[in-house]
Amino acid sequence: MTTNTTGPATDASVVDDHPQSGHASMNRIGHNHLRLVRAGIDTYQQPVVYMHRDCHVCRAEGFTALTRVLVRCGDREVVATLNVVDNERFGLDAAALSEAAWKALQPGPDAWGVFGHPEPPVSLPSLRAKVFGRRLGEADFIGLMRDTVDNRLSDIELAAFVTACAGNRLDPEETIGLTRAMVAVGQRIAWGGGPVLDKHCVGGLPGNRTTPIVVAIVAAAGYRIPKTSSRAITSPAGTADTMEVMAPVSLDLVSMRRVVEREGGCIVWGGNVRLSPADDVLIRVERPLDFDSDGQLVASILSKKCAAGSTHVLIDMPVGPTAKVRTTQAADALEALLTTTANALGIALSVVRSDGRQPVGYGIGPALEARDVLRVLRGDPDAPADLRQRALDLAIALLDIAPGSQPGHAAATCRNLLESGAALRKFMAICEAQGGFTEPVLASSTHAVLAERSGRITSVDNRLLAKVAKLAGAPGSASAGIDFRLRIGDSVGRGEPLFRIHAQTDGELQYALDYAIAHPCIIAIEDLP
């Protein structure tokens, strides 16, 4: 695409294609043109434009704070949310773009933008219908997801959609329609013949970083496993965050395909390959709301698996009182919806329910989890046994559903690949293919949280423990987090360490420590008999 770098786009209102700065030039350029400058403000994925309250465009177009604004530059356009400023930081003849808006428009030096009111989103009637409890069809969802990807819906409207779908407000047919719509508005990968394996964890469990180990084992076994993973939504680390400590993950679709064709597998950030991009936008809205629905969760998982070309998918579903899935009844309902939707999409799916009562592995946070992954792959005696066993169990279950698999053979194959070092060699090869391996580095500031009483550990609050890790700086600071080595049933003495906090700064360390001390219920201890 081309970018206008010489002045405002030519139309009937433009007299001078090369306006000079200053108020005198305002009479000679279009009433809806402003110079584009980079604000240097990260608004995550949301395009934002900043204008002075008294600029001629705000006055002429009647723009006010939070107005949705259509911005064109050359042959690119974006719908952005307006923030109004009162100081002279950007000037009366300039509009400043957030990083997301700047990336969307890609303006050149001295570029000018054309501003106006966008057309109302065509999907608004469908959104309103869902808010009032009506069922939607696949065509309705396609309209909604297309407007979502094109940034035609504001975050307030998207929040209304997410809320209207929460609870049990998406039935199985709607879930299938939403999933297909999310696939339809993004890119898809076709791998040719043969099975394409994949694995996903429902989440809600700190640590539990089995994916890199599973991918290494499955790829070493000769299967294709192109894994796209997410960054943290509400957790101290997502798989992409942990993998990024060891290798680049922001690969585009061409680079991802090259890695998989070379090594059989990859572990990349899904947000950069635009597989189900609508899901990434919805996740941005769900993060502050801190809720979703079974239907949205299923659509999120399976739209990305379908777009990635996966044919056989294993779902790890931790079940526990402080995990995402808390009861057997909830697990039954989610598994049924996953299975129904996968069948409609032509995906062979299997669900493994795992223990969700406590973290898996020692580390909680990107670098600490990466350390655990490498220790398992390297056969280190200090590797967390629970992470090793869970990763093995999942790799075995995934190979068991692969076409042509013989019952009982997968277990011996997976153990041999891990113990012989073949999985480690494959993992390192994948890292090199993605851009090179880096050894994890942990934060230098640490402090142990001590037991206030002696006894036996009876429960762990996963959510509160994850909160401590986030207050320590994870995942924004990749080296921050928690080292937690105790398990339910272990004995601990008064004054002994329960877990150790790692942080980059003393301030973050103190935040996390204060929270942990104020919440002794994070780890429940009962007296020994």
d(CA 270, CA 254): 13
Three-state SS annotation for 151-192: CCCCHHHHHHHHHHHCECCCCHHHHHHHHHHHHHCCCCCCCC
Number of Cβ atoms within 10 Å of the Cβ of 529: 5
Residues 277 and 307 sit within 8 Å (Cβ to Cβ):
no
Q: Tokens 């679709």 correspond to what residue? A: 253
Closest CA to 182 of 152, 151, 138, 226: 138
Q: How far is CA 483 from CA 87, 206, 244, 260, 451, in A?
A: 47, 11, 19, 33, 15
DSSP 343-412: HHHT-EEEEEEEE-SS-BSSEESHHHHHHHHHHHHHT-TTS-HHHHHHHHHHHHHHHHTSTTPPTTHHHH
Contact 325, 331 (CB under 8 A): yes
What are φ and ψ of residue 479, in 5° steps?
A: -85, -5
Measured CA to CA, the distance from residue 191 to residue 312 in angstroms comes to 13
Other residues' Cβ atoms within 10 Å of the Cβ of residue 378: 12
Active-site residue, 171 included:
no
On whether the CB atoms of residues 469 and 236 are closer than 8 A, the answer is yes
Q: Which residue out of 198, 279, 292, 386 is catalytically annotated? A: 292
CA distance 465 to 512: 10
At 323 the three-state DSSP class reads: coil
Whole-angstrom distance, CA of residue 217 vs CA of residue 422: 8
Q: Hey, which residues are catalytic here?
A: 292
